[in-house]
Amino acid sequence: MRDVRSAIGRLEATTLKIETMLAATLPHLATKADVADLRTELKYELATGLADKPGKTYMWGILAALLTAYACGLAGIAFLK
């Protein structure tokens, strides 16, 4: 009987340690709702952030215009010499 009582005492101490650890850890963990809100917020920020940036076609067009202007400048300098 004494062994059972000592085993129950150790079990209570272990259970108390686990409860204390969970009480300290669980408030800091995110819930499913928190994760879903974060996911929605990140999707919105990503969509609005990418909408403000120029596309590939626009960038290639700017590059073509700059190269054309450079070529015309070189041709103008060659013509003046």
pLDDT band at 57 (very low <50, low <70, confident <90, very high): very high
User: Average of pLDDT values for 1-14?
Assistant: 86
Number of domains in the chain: 1
Residue 18: inside a domain: yes
What does the pLDDT read at residue 6? 86
What does the pLDDT read at residue 22? 86
| Per-residue pLDDT reduced to its tens digit, 10-28 | 899 999 999 999 888 877 7
Residue 75: inside a domain: no
**What's the helix, strand, coil split of the chain in %, to 5?**
90, 0, 10
What is the spatial distance between Cα 74 and Cα 78, in angstroms, rounded to a whole number?
Answer: 6
In a 10 Å sphere around its CB, with 0-12 CB exposed, 13-18 middle and 19+ buried, how is residue 24 labelled?
exposed
Residue 5: inside a domain: yes
What does the pLDDT read at residue 9? 86
Residue 11: inside a domain: yes
**pLDDT higher than threshold 80 for residue 1:** no
**Domain range spanning residue 24?**
1-29
